Amino acid sequence: MNMEYSKKFFFTVAFLLPAMIAGAQEKNKMTHEMTEFYSPEVPVVTPGSTIDGGGFTAPSDAIILFDGKDLSKWESAKGGAALWKVHDGVVTVDKSTGDIQTKDKFNDFQLHIEWCVPKDIEGSSQARGNSGIFLQGMYEVQVLDSYENKTYVNGQAASIYKQAVPLVNAMRKPGEWNVYDIIYKAPDFKEDGSYRNYPRVTVIHNGVVVQNDTEIRGTTEFIGLPRIVKHGAGPIRLQAHGDPSKPISYRNIWIRNL
């Protein structure tokens, strides 16, 4: 479909615009229909509806990754079944069983995901509701209780961990649901393994833009600088962080390939 639009755009630039310029003096001979096109039509998508305290449910063209019932779309990052606990329409991180990731792999996407820090959370800085969403399994959008909880700013909620500080802190308090909408553009690589185009990400946190087309510099590293590691399509991976605070929960996870 995009190809069709590209063709239209090319046609417009290559043929129509020069014709329009050349014919500027003959403007009166043009009609409005000459600069309007009707095909291919824009696909119709039925949007989801909002849910209590959260964001939109999946639109009709999304892949539903978690709808509150089971983890059939997920596996353990170590291999085998995803063992986090599903209950009451949510999935709660099980720190003892490690990260989970989608079975499917993705390139460019729009990801919707909601997360909730327990109301009675304790701890401070990075040891307070720490989890994370790894894009293509490589690049972490931080999940943390950053409601009145100071930490290094490039490690607070909605940071690209250790790389990019969020524009604002749009946290809801513990016990309430936070919503991330993440628009991600995958990198491509030169033959030597370096980026031709860096990965890029926009993050909307509770309706607020917090990462605006941010360039990701490389892998997420706790110690040291980002590394450039050539990769292809990858999963969405959710972090089972080892901090001792009570585990957070996720719900309403869906993705659209772009």
Task: Give the residues lining the site for Mg ion (CB under 5 A).
Answer: 130, 132, 239
> Nearer Cβ to Mg ion, position 130 or 245?
130
In whole angstroms, the minimum distance from the beta carbon of 208 to Mg ion comes to 20
Q: 107: exposed, middle or buried (C-beta count within 10 Å: 0-12, 13-18, 19+)?
A: middle
> Nearer Cβ to Mg ion, position 220 or 252?
220
Closest-CB residue for Mg ion? Answer: 132
Instruction: Give how far the C-alpha of residue 256 lies from the chain's centroid of Cα atoms, to the nearest Å.
Output: 10
In whole angstroms, the minimum distance from the beta carbon of 117 to Mg ion comes to 13
Instruction: Give strand pairing partners of 12.
Output: none
In whole angstroms, the minimum distance from the beta carbon of 238 to Mg ion comes to 10
Q: Return all residues near 176 (Cβ < 8 A) that are at least 6 apart.
A: 53, 116
Residue carrying structure tokens 């040291």:
224
Residue 188 CA to residue 138 CA, distance in Å, equals 14
In whole angstroms, the minimum distance from the beta carbon of 40 to Mg ion comes to 42
In whole angstroms, the minimum distance from the beta carbon of 161 to Mg ion comes to 6
> Nearer Cβ to Mg ion, position 102 or 126?
126
> Nearer Cβ to Mg ion, position 102 or 159?
159
Distances from the Cα of 157 to the Cα of 10, 154, 199, 208, 240, angstroms = 42, 9, 19, 13, 15
> Nearer Cβ to Mg ion, position 130 or 249?
130
Q: 166: exposed, middle or buried (C-beta count within 10 Å: 0-12, 13-18, 19+)?
A: buried
> Nearer Cβ to Mg ion, position 58 or 93?
93
In whole angstroms, the minimum distance from the beta carbon of 228 to Mg ion comes to 21
